[in-house]
Structure 1
Amino acid sequence: FTRFSKHNLTSDLEVEVTDIQTYLRFLVTSTSGKYVPPHLRNMGDDKRKAELEKLKRNVKGLMNRLSEPNMSSICGQLEELYMSSSRKDMNDTLTELLLAACVTPTLMPDRLLMEHILLVSILHHAVGLEVGAHFLETVVRKFDEHYKNPSGGKECDNLIAIIAHLYNFQVVHSVLIFDILKLLVGTFTEKDIELVLFVLRNVGFALRKDDPLALKELISEAQRKASDMGSKFQDQTRVRFMLETMMALKNNDMRKIPGYDPEPVERLRKLQRSLIHRSAGGSDMKLRVSLDSLLAAEQVGRWWIVGSSWSGAPMISKQEDTTTKQSPAQGQVDAKVLELARKQRMNTDVRRNIFCVLMTSEDYLDAFEKLLRMGLKDKQEREIVHVLMDCCLQEKNFNAFYVILGEKFCSHDRRFQMTFQFSLWDKFRELPNLSSSTFNNLVQLVTCFLQRKCLSLSILKVIEFGELDKPTVRFLRQVLTKLLKETEPEELASIFGRISGIPKLGMLREGLKLFIDHFLLKSVLSQGAPEQAALLSERAQLATKAMEAKETKLKL
């Protein structure tokens, strides 16, 4: 390379192209560590482009043939493509082609839209939540874009029709529909009134069934807006028609809504039920996500997708996002929650995240869905029960929120029942060391779990009735007293009947009978309360008969 000196480059006019290529090859080798020949460069990109084009052609061919009769065949072939291709590529391709087919400057036929959204719904249930979540987020972003910058066409109408049908086919929760309706009623232009009427005509009665209180509040807000701003409209007919439609929904009067025909949606719902082979064990697959969460997904993360990163969420990370401004109040709340988590000895990331979800959730359903979508596995998933138990027992006064949430987890999967059982067994061994408030909360928790049939009386089988200490006697006396006094006779017979006829629980049944006779009834009689003694005696006999019922049948 001595020829490539400043003198030679300026004076030698006969520098050959091959020498320049050799020099460039030397530079590439010295900087990147590996030389790629020119004929192989960009070959990976070209190959990927070819694969994406082939995938797009395959999906587009299936989409062009989509109709109600061949819905099953098309869905099966698309599922196979999901299995053989990258899910991201499939989600991007499917969303792009669906939007190209359904979002046009002209209003699309309702049947065509419903068939395409039915396809998304079936894939959402069969392949995974990320299919519907990706499509929904893209649709909502496009709706926000067209709503803020109208183009004069019917794109906004088509997009809101897509969102309405996503709700019809069980992909999204009513929370999103109410958020959009509140947005439209808040601005209250002629276009907004037209969109509100369209949404109510398509999904109004379903909204009334799912959340009548939210619909009532929406109607009140629309009436207030109409009285304040209605005079600015030259044509008052649409405003009156919207209010009449809302009142018809409130009164459940379908006849007063012109053009309302539930038959096409019901027919496709029946087809949907026949094509969805698995329903995630009966669990709810609807995405309970708000409009603000979808629009801010890039900043706060996609908590509604299983396995999605939560690193941007303030409850998980202490790092401030420099691209977004956080209000001082929000920062103080998050800091308080994190400090509270530290005081409660939530010493791992998983436990801290679970604790923050419990403390900041709106209700038990919100907490349940967020905890499930954290994507915890095996030992990490058991931490949900441990943190829930710790929070419940550390409260100054008993909070039934933890019972309802625990019941939801127990009904969701039996493995949560087993984890609750093992966790309670650990607490039974620690009874002598528990504080009075923790002891009382444990009594309330066990009693509520038994009354709601989340757990069986078999959880008491680890207690040695022949070697009872004072704390255990006090615990059993309080649990059984509350159970006998505060439970209806039919429910009481069912609770005690669950442990009858099981040979392994024979010692438990005998222990409970002796405890009720000697520690419970005699204690009440000694206190001189005849009315309570009579009630307890009656309920105790009922419980004893329920435990012996199946044993008598077996002997006969």
Structure 2
Amino acid sequence: MLEEWLSEPNFASISGQLEELYMTHSRKDMNETLTDILLSACVTPAMMPDRLLMEHVFLVSILHYTVGLEVGAHFLEAVVKKFDEVHRSGSEGKVCNNLIALLAHLYNFHVVHSVLIFEILKILLDSFTEKDIEIILFLLKNVGFSLRKDDALALKELISEAQKKAGMNKELVDQSRVRFMLETMLALKNNDMRKIPGYDPEPVERLRKLQRSMLHNNGGGKEAQLHVTFENILNADQTGRWWIVGSSWSGTPMISNADSISQLKLPGGKVSSKILELARKQRMNTDIRRTIFCVMMTSEDFLEAFENLLRLGLKDHQEREIVHVLIDCCLQEKTFNAFYAILGDKFCNYDRRFQMTFQFSMWDKFRELENLSDTAFSNLGDLLAHLLKKKSLSLSVFKVIEFSELDKPKVRLLRHILRKLLMETGPEELAAIFGRISGIPKLGLLCEGLKLFISHFLLKNSHGSSEEVSLLKEQANVAEKALQAKDSKLKL
């Protein structure tokens, strides 16, 4: 079981193994499985040790930043919906306490924004039962000073509301737990940690420090916090999960009439209803996706599209949606449109984070090949071949493919891409493309797999004129030598 071997010394290896599983399995299945395991371990009728809950949420936070926001978002949604269900039912036991502890630590480790925690505190203040007071105390003790730091005014208003609520009922004021809650709130208001018995920030701070060291090379920062409300989460099935970039969506349309559609604005002004109708048909189902789509469709050329997309000022996690929309549009064209390939190349050269998003998106597409139409399949191959020729992506994009277990769709895609590279690239450029992955120990199997693939699937029974066959063999020889070049130097 996960809880039996999850501990601070193991975090790096466990998160690394889970990242690999995310790369080789459906993200939807992984999110559901991970959430089920964590909830069954953490949400029980008995109060779970805070250290155990903290470490499980810490793992979620690492995957949230390294794998994608949908990991934390999926877990958060499950916890919030369960909390709402349990809180409404007024059930006994510590299930509600455990769920609140999970939410508190999701905030502690920057998965969710303080706006959700403030909303939950207000919900608890509205009902203000003995159980609610107990949970409010727990929240304030665990995240009160962080809330004060994030939004002192909102905390001040919350404290005033709690004091009024308690003052309205003299019996409540006389209860020791209520008095303790009010004293805790006063200590928070005065920023006096000494007045809160048992307050110990050290365990959270230690894990935050570990989190920073593990995510040292990840650029997400607090930008990746989910700024989502309680109501957003409860209504996600009806209104969509806009807080997950590139998420799947189901439910009633988020924009349902021409008046609301016409309000969408772009850097150059409003867009026509015709373009917005096209966006709807292309399943651009969030404001970000629609805006990106409309920018692409209304730009004169790739340079104007590139500049206008940058002017949107999208945050780091929102920027990834540019790549998702670009690939979706490219695959839906009736014939390959080089506009998307050139625009993609421009973004990859602009910042390496776009290269990484393209790579992850391509890995997702590799798992869906059998579901693509012939046109989409061909467009995907042409897009990837272009990005490889321009060195926007490296052949390492194929490292997730098991060459010993190739199915027909993967053979077809690799044959399409590699043949284009060999036949449409000069010898020097070709050597540079294949040479990029040679001599790297982790890519040794990929190099061998590519050599065998070219030999077995491209050169054997190759079709075309004698000149084409001859050129293919010459170029294959160039590629093979490039794959071996650095290996030979290393051996020397």
TM-score normalised according to structure 2 size: 0.56
Instruction: Quote the residue 2:276 is aligned against.
Output: 349
Instruction: Quote the residue 2:233 is aligned against.
Output: 294
**What amino acid sits opposite 1:258 in the alignment?**
P
Instruction: Quote the residue 1:107 is aligned against.
Output: 47
Q: 1:115 to 1:377 in 2, by over 3 A?
A: farther
For residues 410-450 of structure 1, the C-alpha deviation after alignment (integer angstroms, 9 at most, x for no partner) is 9x98xx9xxxxxxxxxxxxxxxxxxxxxxxxxxxxxxxxxx
**What amino acid sits opposite 2:203 in the alignment?**
P
Instruction: Quote the residue 2:184 is aligned against.
Output: 245
**What amino acid sits opposite 2:62 in the alignment?**
I
Q: 1:278 to 1:63 in 2, by over 3 A?
A: farther
**What amino acid sits opposite 2:42 in the alignment?**
C
Contact 1:182 1:218 in 2 (8 A): yes
Q: 1:386 to 1:274 in 2, by over 3 A?
A: closer
Contact 1:169 1:269 in 2 (8 A): yes
| Residues 1:337 and 2:260 aligned together | yes
Query: How far apart are 1:239 and its partner, in Å?
Result: 1.3
SS in 1 for 2:261: helix
Query: How far apart are 1:316 and its partner, in Å?
Result: 2.4
Moved more, 379-388 or 171-180: 379-388
In structure 2, distance between residues paired with 1:350 and 1:261:
55
Contact 1:107 1:154 in 2 (8 A): yes
1:95 aligned to which of 35, 57, 67: 35
Instruction: Quote the residue 1:221 is aligned against.
Output: 161
Instruction: Quote the residue 2:109 is aligned against.
Output: 169
Query: How far apart are 1:128 and its partner, in Å?
Result: 0.4
| Residues 1:189 and 2:129 aligned together | yes
| Residues 1:78 and 2:4 aligned together | no
| Residues 1:255 and 2:194 aligned together | yes
For residues 193-229 of structure 1, the C-alpha deviation after alignment (integer angstroms, 9 at most, x for no partner) is 111010000000000010111111111111111112x
For residues 176-204 of structure 1, the C-alpha deviation after alignment (integer angstroms, 9 at most, x for no partner) is 00010010011111111111010000000
In structure 2, distance between residues paired with 1:252 and 1:83:
45
Contact 2:167 2:173 in 1 (8 A): no
**What amino acid sits opposite 1:301 in the alignment?**
G
**What amino acid sits opposite 1:203 in the alignment?**
V
Instruction: Quote the residue 1:266 is aligned against.
Output: 205
SS in 1 for 2:197: coil
In structure 2, distance between residues paired with 1:383 and 1:350:
20
Contact 2:238 2:250 in 1 (8 A): no
Q: 1:370 to 1:289 in 2, by over 3 A?
A: farther
Unmatched segments (≥5 aa) in structure 1: 1-59, 319-334, 354-368, 390-404, 417-556
Contact 2:110 2:225 in 1 (8 A): yes
Instruction: Quote the residue 1:231 is aligned against.
Output: 170
For residues 263-309 of structure 1, the C-alpha deviation after alignment (integer angstroms, 9 at most, x for no partner) is 00000111111112543365611000000000111111100111125
Contact 2:193 2:199 in 1 (8 A): yes
Q: 1:314 to 1:250 in 2, by over 3 A?
A: farther
For residues 315-357 of structure 1, the C-alpha deviation after alignment (integer angstroms, 9 at most, x for no partner) is 5234xxxxxxxxxxxxxxxx6433555994434229989xxxx
In structure 1, distance between residues paired with 2:25 and 2:309:
39
Q: Which has the higher contact order (CA 8 A, sep 6+)?
A: 2
Contact 2:104 2:117 in 1 (8 A): yes
2:148 aligned to which of 203, 208, 212: 208
Q: 1:121 to 1:293 in 2, by over 3 A?
A: same
In structure 2, distance between residues paired with 1:384 and 1:315:
27
Q: 1:370 to 1:349 in 2, by over 3 A?
A: closer
Contact 1:303 1:373 in 2 (8 A): no
In structure 2, distance between residues paired with 1:89 and 1:341:
34
Q: 1:200 to 1:312 in 2, by over 3 A?
A: same
**What amino acid sits opposite 1:153 in the alignment?**
G
Larger Rg: 1
Contact 2:58 2:207 in 1 (8 A): yes
For residues 60-79 of structure 1, the C-alpha deviation after alignment (integer angstroms, 9 at most, x for no partner) is 4x443111111111111111
SS in 1 for 2:225: coil
For residues 80-116 of structure 1, the C-alpha deviation after alignment (integer angstroms, 9 at most, x for no partner) is 1111211111111111110111111111111111111
**What amino acid sits opposite 1:307 in the alignment?**
G
In structure 1, distance between residues paired with 2:171 and 2:211:
45
Contact 2:238 2:251 in 1 (8 A): yes
Moved more, 76-85 or 163-172: 76-85
1:119 aligned to which of 53, 56, 59: 59
Contact 2:166 2:172 in 1 (8 A): no
Give matches, 1:336-415, under 5 Å: 336-340=259-263, 344-347=270-273, 348-349=275-276, 371=288, 379=296
Instruction: Quote the residue 1:140 is aligned against.
Output: 80
Contact 1:136 1:163 in 2 (8 A): yes
SS in 1 for 2:247: coil
**What amino acid sits opposite 1:379 in the alignment?**
M
In structure 2, distance between residues paired with 1:303 and 1:114:
27
Q: 1:220 to 1:281 in 2, by over 3 A?
A: closer
Contact 1:304 1:373 in 2 (8 A): no
> Percent identity over the alignment?
62
Instruction: Quote the residue 1:522 is aligned against.
Output: none
Q: 1:65 to 1:373 in 2, by over 3 A?
A: farther
In structure 2, distance between residues paired with 1:259 and 1:149:
30
Query: How far apart are 1:376 and its partner, in Å?
Result: 6.1
SS in 1 for 2:8: coil
Q: 1:108 to 1:377 in 2, by over 3 A?
A: farther
- State the Cα RMSD in Å: 3.6
In structure 2, distance between residues paired with 1:90 and 1:340:
38
Contact 1:117 1:165 in 2 (8 A): yes
**What amino acid sits opposite 1:294 in the alignment?**
I
Contact 2:47 2:98 in 1 (8 A): yes
In structure 2, distance between residues paired with 1:409 and 1:133:
17
Instruction: Quote the residue 1:363 is aligned against.
Output: none
Q: 1:311 to 1:135 in 2, by over 3 A?
A: closer
TM-score normalised according to structure 1 size: 0.50
